[in-house]
Amino acid sequence: MKFLIVGLGNIGDEYANTRHNIGFKVLDAFAKASNLVFDNDTRYGATVSGRVKNAELLLLKPSTYMNLSGDAVRYWMQREKIPVENVLIIVDDLSIPFGSLRLKGNGSAGGHNGLKSIEARVGTQQYARIRFGIGNDFPKGAQVDYVLGEWSDEEAKRLEERIPIAVEMIKSFCLAGLQNTMNQFNNK
């Protein structure tokens, strides 16, 4: 079984430690824990292949910027012949509390431009996503600044506890499937 695991974010040093880049952070942690090194020179993003037991994984950090993430997802799905049911997207989510992790098998983009792009390019909402809560502690009209803002010191400390759980969710998705992973990890 082959899986495409996509962490959403924006390329460039100015975005490296922003809330919007939690997908990149999770994949970096996965790669580090598995002694994998991303190739930054592949088409549409940085990629690395690895295994979790009998599952073959292709990790992708798109270089298309958030609003065009669907181009990278569609390209790698087609190139590697990975069906949509074996795609997992890691994405930031304003609508759930900071540090909360929710796995869903489908759903709307919820206003997230990266998910809107994936839906448009892949042609469906029927793909799995880990929604990583970044909270919504910002004044009205300041959503963009908040999402593109850097983590507070307190948030950065809590991320060290939450990111490893997201890594375990990826492994479980590939080995135990969507429903079992949702049952094990959602609301914890």
Q: How far is CA 114 from the centre of its chain?
A: 10
Q: Which helix (H) or strand (E) holds 132?
A: strand 128-133
Unique residue bearing structure tokens 């994949």 = 27
Active site residues: 20
Question: Rounded to an integer, what distance in angstroms lies between the CA atom of residue 131 and that of residue 66?
Answer: 15
Residue bearing tokens 């270089």: 63
CB environment 99-122: b (16+ within 10 A), e (fewer): bbbbbeeeeebeebbbbbbbbebb
